[in-house]
Structure 1
Amino acid sequence: MTLSPRMPDLAALEILLAVARTGSLSAAGREAGLTQQAVSARLAALEARTGVRLATRTPHGTRLTAQGAVVAEWADRLLHLAAEVDAGLAALRDDSRSTLRVSASLTVAEHLLPGWLVSLHADATRRGETPIRVVLTATNSDQVVDQVRDGAADLGFIEGPTVPPGLRSRIVGHDDLVLVVPAGHPWARRKTAVDAAELARTALVTRESGSGTRDFLTAALGDLPQAAPALELSTAAAVRAAVLAGAAPAVVSRLAAGDDLRSGRLREITLTGLDLRRDLRAVWTGPRVPPAGAIRTLLGHIG
């Protein structure tokens, strides 16, 4: 069976579905990692290729025409089938089933992945299967995103405030950031909470630029001008050590500071006016449904 030259490609149909889901060219662009102008151009090209008017602009955004809604239904079924074909092909690639290149933010790499991988290995052994071999790189969230996009990693785990454009994602856990000081710090004896403005004015021990923890705090503080860091360090362990040495307060992952908080070496200071609960995400390229093989096995085990 030969398809006509008017048959659109899958990427064009994904753009149509993004417009249908969001009702906005700009929102569809953010979802697809494209500019509004690029989405508009691709939608116009899709209409020209198919010879069907698919969408119309309104004062409130962009909506599909009646014909466009029908095409979107077909496109959704076609893309789901294409995702199944893609997943099936991935399942046939032995390497994708047996080896997984993972890039993870330091918080996830140090505090969550070891438990996940030990449990995954034990589960495979119980079923008489060969465990997945995981090659892990621990770095900051920006580098994780770059490695997944470049194909240097099959799967990434990040802790930033937003979903990176152009990548698929799934929430795999949650964490919150906490303000910590050593037991001897004056703040350890204060009775009032620290608000967002005071926190922004305070020189903190921080992670380097590109760290998910630092980016999340910056996003939470919004437009408040922030004091220059007292120290910039490349690992959460170094940040905790600097705080314990009396360098300055820090905002850190509760996962990373858990042992120090439980022992009393660090004290958590109450914050007000800030929501510092964050999602931890797995990210990958390709279809919305993770491809069969090692990626889907690991994500399915995490839940």
Structure 2
Amino acid sequence: KVILTPAGEVLYKYAKDILALYAAAEKVIGEMTGLVKGSITIGAGSTIGNYFLPSVISEFRKTHPKIRVHLFVENMQRVIELLNAGNINVGLVEGDVKRQKLVVEKLLSDELLLIVPPHHPWAKRKEVSVSELIDEPFILREAGSGTRQTIEKFFARYGIALQAMKVSMVLGSTQAIKEAVENGLGVSIVSRWAARKENKYGTLSMVNFKEEKMLRNFSLITYKNSVPSHAVEEFLTYLRSYPFDKLLS
């Protein structure tokens, strides 16, 4: 833990004031000229970063061509680390976040579904019980992943620990998991956003759970004491009002 000296405390206060004044000046100038400039650095979880944020950023830049957007796709734990370190302006993650020094806002709900290859016996079924997964080769995300966190909590509600599963592979991305399932290396659980194209074209089948839906939130996270630039404020406003459901149509 870093503890500031009395002189450091004074410097920190003035540094915050300077940043706030700079952000305010940038905003006023942008409003006067009608043109917002600057850059935004975003950290996003695998599902959000790969499967819907590119479309959101593309549409945002049509109306904000002078704003540069940098996107880092990491697991949830790494995104939080980057935000706490001040290396990104905004985080978008899947799963539960400990608030501490963060502001957490729910953007939308997400459902996770079982995915199996089209030749698998479960592909013809509408639903599968959680207990049936115990004897099936299972492909899992790495520790620190929001998807893995959600799966662990869901299984725990039905008395199933990961140690009881036949985990055949642990992979670091949703795309790698989909490829592995398509090639018959096991079954897995991913967001409905992530597998919608494969399900549409018949390379993967999505199956519901018999007990209940596996739900989680996609959340927007920002650092509590940060001073957002005009560019960041514009993106946050755009994101909060974005019609995400149209991406599933």
Structure 1 length-normalised TM:
0.63
Residue type at the aligned position of 1:250: S
* Alignment-derived partner of residue 82 in structure 2: 147
Q: Aligned to 1:118, which of 28, 51, 58?
A: 58
* Alignment-derived partner of residue 189 in structure 2: 251
Tell me how far apart the structure 1 counterparts of residues 72 and 204 of structure 2 sit (CA, whole Å): 29
* Alignment-derived partner of residue 294 in structure 1: 231
Structure whose CA Rg is larger: 1
How much does 1:275 deviate? 3.1
Give the match's secondary structure for 1:179: strand
Aligned residues: 213
Residue type at the aligned position of 2:151: L
* Alignment-derived partner of residue 229 in structure 1: 167
Residue type at the aligned position of 1:153: I
* Alignment-derived partner of residue 5 in structure 2: none
* Alignment-derived partner of residue 211 in structure 1: 145
Tell me how far apart the structure 1 counterparts of residues 218 and 232 of structure 2 sit (CA, whole Å): 16
Residue type at the aligned position of 1:196: V
Q: Aligned to 1:241, which of 179, 204, 208?
A: 179
* Alignment-derived partner of residue 109 in structure 2: 174
How much does 1:174 deviate? 2.9
Asked if the contact 2:122/2:128 (under 8 Å) is kept, the reply is no
Q: Structure 1 pair 147/201, CA: closer, same or farther in 2 (3 Å)?
A: farther
Residue type at the aligned position of 2:235: L
Tell me how far apart the structure 1 counterparts of residues 182 and 147 of structure 2 sit (CA, whole Å): 19
1:106 to 2:46 alignment: yes
Asked if the contact 2:111/2:216 (under 8 Å) is kept, the reply is yes
* Alignment-derived partner of residue 220 in structure 2: 282
How much does 1:277 deviate? 2.1
How much does 1:230 deviate? 1.2
Moved over 4 A (4+): 85-89
How much does 1:297 deviate? 1.1
Tell me how far apart the structure 1 counterparts of residues 125 and 61 of structure 2 sit (CA, whole Å): 47
Structure 2 length-normalised TM:
0.76
Q: Which stretches in structure 2 are left out of the alignment for 5+ residues? A: 1-17, 28-35, 242-249
User: Residues 97-156 of structure 1: CA distance to partner in whole angstroms, max 9, x if unpaired?
Assistant: 61111111111111121111111111125xxxxx32112111111100111011111111
Asked if the contact 1:105/1:141 (under 8 Å) is kept, the reply is yes
Asked if the contact 2:137/2:185 (under 8 Å) is kept, the reply is no
Q: Which stretches in structure 1 are left out of the alignment for 5+ residues? A: 1-84, 126-130
| Deviates further, 179-188 or 266-275 | 266-275
Q: Percent identity?
A: 26
Q: Structure 1 pair 190/254, CA: closer, same or farther in 2 (3 Å)?
A: closer
Residue type at the aligned position of 2:233: R
* Alignment-derived partner of residue 100 in structure 2: 165
* Alignment-derived partner of residue 202 in structure 2: 264
Asked if the contact 2:107/2:219 (under 8 Å) is kept, the reply is yes
Residue type at the aligned position of 1:284: T
* Alignment-derived partner of residue 90 in structure 1: 23
Tell me how far apart the structure 2 counterparts of residues 215 and 110 of structure 1 sit (CA, whole Å): 19
Give the match's secondary structure for 1:255: helix
Tell me how far apart the structure 2 counterparts of residues 200 and 93 of structure 1 sit (CA, whole Å): 56
1:194 to 2:128 alignment: yes
Structure with a larger share of its residues in strand: 2
How much does 1:202 deviate? 3.8
